[in-house]
Homo-oligomer: A and B are copies of this chain.
Amino acid sequence: MTSPEAREEAVLEAVRERRERVNEAIPEELPIQRPERLYEASRYLLDAGGKRLRPTVLLTVAESLLDVEPLSTDYREFPTLNGNRIDIMDAAVSVEVIQSFTLIHDDIMDDDDLRRGVPAVHKEYDLETAILAGDTLYSKAFEIMLETGAKPDRSVEALNVLATTCTKICEGQSLDVTFEERADVSPEEYLEMVEQKTAVLYAASACLPAILLGADEETIDALYGYGLDIGRAFQIQDDVLDLTVPSEQLGKQRGSDLVENKQTLITVHARDQGVDVDNLVDTNDVEAVTEAEIDDAVAELQAAGSIEYANTTAQDLVAQGKERLEVLPDNEARELLRDIADYLIERGY
């Protein structure tokens, strides 16, 4: 057994190396063309950064399935289980493009100013351009997914996963909005919302390579489940980090979810325990809240066992997700997928 620190370093290195290749592929798939302003706006967030976790999961699943050594094989001419070769990088770029489209539209809906340390697209450009940039990325993601060269029946299945995933993301985002006005959201409802809003894109990222490379139904389903599990754990961990990581490190005000009355698994649990969640923090203004107020609120949530509950739930999901990986051949890439699952809840920010 290697140490947790060594495993985390290995994950970060693996993510870094795939990120570089994904970053090379993005301008190839989405060149700045006429009308330039539209394509510049479409690329703005993609170029601003991002860990590329979803493409990393996708590419690593492909490597495990085909039992090739990580990073040893050209993603643009990747072997399949049927003998032909396909461009699996296209699939990886496609899910990242979908992710970017949802961020652009989400920022408009939440009227958020900043994303990845740069202005949101509707702030850097304007509302009109941001809506259009998101819509352009949406169809481009489908175009790119159609270019892998996979067998037509597999492409059809992949497109179907991509389309239903986008529908679920919209449904999840819509539920999230209605939850903000409700004080009786159950942990089950919250987890369902997180599944639709966040986890389905991890699920798609994990199962798409299996579909495109010709794997069987059992493998596809297990990988979809892995993605759902780690995607939910990822979101729960995000909610925990919002309360526990210093503002400077977080890049935004610690406890902003509480201030803005956003539902999280933590607040949903605390309310169940009788905590007066809506009055944990007096102000609704992230500019006005003090660190002491946040400290008090966190102490109360800790006393109610809510942070512990969220941590345990995330850990259980990760354990379950890792079990599902048994469907893959035992190899280095599979080990990396296990480590990625751990990383999602062990990461500090």
Contact = CB atoms under 8 A, between A and B. Distances in A.
Contacts of A109: 127-128, 131-132
A139 interface: yes
Nearest to A193: B35
A131 B129 CA distance: 13
Contacts of A289: none
Nearest to A155: B156
Contact of A143 (B108, B138, B167): B167
Contact of A152 (B153, B175, B178): B153
Contact of A136 (B34, B135, B159, B170): B170
A175 B128 contact: no
Contacts of A134: 135
Contacts of A135: 105, 134, 138, 166, 170
Contact of A178 (B37, B127, B138, B178): B37
Contacts of A159: 142, 146, 156, 159
A173 interface: yes
Copies in the complex: 2
B136 A35 contact: no
Interface string A113-157: 000000000000001110110111011101100100001110110
A177 interface: yes
Interface in A61-111: 105, 108-109
Contacts of A105: 131-132, 135
Contacts of A140: 163, 167
Interface residues of A, number: 41
A139 B35 contact: no
A247 interface: no
A215 interface: no
A131 to B, nearest CB: 5
A160 B139 CA distance: 9
A128 B112 CA distance: 13
Nearest to A176: B35
Contacts of A320: none
Nearest to A143: B163
A128 B173 CA distance: 10
Contact of A160 (B127, B143, B153): B143
A73 B153 CA distance: 28
A174 B139 contact: no
Contact of A35 (B127, B138, B155, B171): B171
A175 to B, nearest CB: 5
Contacts of A108: 127, 131
Contacts of A127: 108-109
Given A143-B164, A151-B152, A152-B152, 14 more contacts: A34-B171, A35-B171, A37-B174, A105-B132, A132-B174, A136-B167, A138-B138, A138-B139, A138-B166, A140-B163, A142-B142, A142-B159, A152-B156, A159-B159
26 contacts: A35-B175, A38-B170, A38-B174, A105-B132, A108-B127, A109-B127, A109-B128, A109-B131, A128-B177, A131-B131, A132-B173, A134-B135, A135-B166, A138-B138, A138-B166, A139-B166, A139-B167, A140-B163, A142-B162, A143-B160, A146-B160, A152-B152, A152-B153, A152-B156, A156-B156, A159-B159
